[in-house]
Amino acid sequence: MAGLGRKVFVAGEVLEASEVNGYLQDQVIMVFGGTAQRGSAIPTPSAGMFTFITADSSFQYWNGSAWIDAGGGGGDFSSQFLLMGA
């Protein structure tokens, strides 16, 4: 899934339809049952992409050449990351 890279969105900014695929889909955390499902859904991941695997409650990111554990495990990765909303 090749995209446009990363973009910091500003409150009130108009989001163009073309930006949804190009930016947003690369900046979300996708959830998969296992790594086989992830591999089928994302044949070419983008560096910095994050996924959550429910089979082992692992939170992983693509470093450009491999999926790397990003902490958590056991269903609790909230202490590893600060999630913020507007």
pLDDT at position 27 is 64
Domain count of the fold of the chain: 1
Q: Is the pTM of this model over 0.75?
A: no
Per-residue CA distances from 15 to 20, 22, 74, 86 (Å) = 8, 11, 36, 16
State pLDDT tens for residues 51-71.
889 999 888 989 999 999 986
pLDDT at position 30 is 83
CATH of the domain at 38: 2.10.10
pLDDT at position 86 is 42
Residue 70 CA to residue 86 CA, distance in Å, equals 24
Give the residue numbers spanning the domain of 68.
Answer: 17-72
Tell me the two tokens of residue 44. 């070419």
Question: How much of the chain exceeds pLDDT 70, in percent?
Answer: 70
